[in-house]
Structure 1
């Protein structure tokens, strides 16, 4: 029972920590994702897999059914940002790579997966790319569209005029949200580069300008 209470307290602390870092630049929390039947089914499957693979650890940690229900609720609140299949994939990765029953933090990391596998940079490297990209931003060859959209959501002027201490947390929040979408299978469109004019006029030479001016004077009898 004491071990179950410890796990519950640990899960609560992890979710509280996550909630503190989920504020928008304006200081208001983003709308929380709603759990679907698919999320609930996926989470139940995950705990069933844990029970099978970590048999003794599982029953020692979750011997109290009431505490187990509370822990599942806390996990659901944190994992709802991922698609159900992503949650299942995360559980399979945990089982294949660890001999120990995972914490919520370990499970979130497994669901997120390696950013490099999805062609994504680590947040700080993405921030540096966004800050150094020349204008027009949409025409820049980005390492991944997520970097561009995170910069756009953060406001390009804000990134350029603010210190890293102020700007990076805002950028990182938007970037991590976009990374989660990519990991969940959403394909971000390429930025729309500004279209070039159909006819590009070449400036007239000084001599041509002079000839045209003289022709105009002749027409006007000046």
Structure 2
């Protein structure tokens, strides 16, 4: 991509002890591909420094990954945070970020606060995707068996607790 400009600055062959190798250590193939796409998009004539390239690799926009923008994802999360919502998610990453913030917080906090929380959670989620981490699945429905507590079970537990507390007080 940079031809002689690259080789003049960094040499012809890749050296494992080179500063670039140390700086890019731990990045996934997807992250490096993202960084290369970012370089093509920028169209710079000279290669970036290794730390600048690492920032390009790690800092993908959601749209570059095929995700909704942060503002669109926030609106979707707020819409789906209502208990009566249909909860159709455009991508598991939006659901994951909404769960990290909490549906109650998305519904009840002022927009300035809930937006900041969501933006942070969504950015972390995007970084998780870039790192190849697995996000939790969107629940399809309730589990086959659900534990249901009856009033009798609750009253029995309360009576046992009262008995135990009387023993402690004596």
Q: Same fold (TM over 0.5)?
A: yes
- In structure 2, the partner of 1:167 is 114
Pair 145,54 (structure 1): closer, same or farther in 2 beyond 3 Å: same
Q: Is the aligned partner of 1:99 residue 2:45?
A: yes
Q: Which residue of 1 aligns with 2:30?
A: 86
Answer whether contact 1:112 1:180 (CA < 8 A) is retained: yes
CA distance in 2, matches of 1:91, 1:188: 22
For structure 2, list consecutive stretches of 5 or more residues without a partner in the other structure.
Answer: 11-17, 145-170
Does residue 178 of structure 1 match 2:125?
yes
Contact 2:105-2:114 within 8 A present in 1 as well? yes
Aligned equivalent of 2:152: none
* Counterparts of 2:84 and 2:138, CA distance in 1: 11
- 2:79 is aligned with 1:135: no
Q: Give the Cα–Cα distance (whole angstroms) in 1 for the partners of residues 21 and 112 of structure 2.
A: 36
**8 Å contact from structure 1 (residues 127, 171) kept in 2:** yes
CA pair 54-121 structure 1, distance change in 2 beyond 3 A = same
Aligned-residue Cα RMSD (Å) equals 3.8
Aligned ranges for residues 209-220 of structure 1 at < 5 Å? Answer: none
Count of aligned pairs between the two proteins: 134
Q: Which has the larger radius of gyration?
A: 1
Cα shift readout 1:85-136 (whole Å, capped 9, x = no counterpart): 2343245435644322225455423454453353311112211110111426
TM score, norm. by length of structure 1: 0.46
**2:6 maps to what in 1?**
54
2:69 equivalent to 1:122: yes
More helix by share: 1
For structure 1, list consecutive stretches of 5 or more residues without a partner in the other structure. Answer: 1-48, 60-67, 198-222
Deviation at 1:193, TM superposition (A): 3.3
CA contact (8 A) 2:38 2:56 kept: no
Change (3 A) 1:95 1:52: farther
Alpha-carbon distance, 1:164 to partner = 2.4
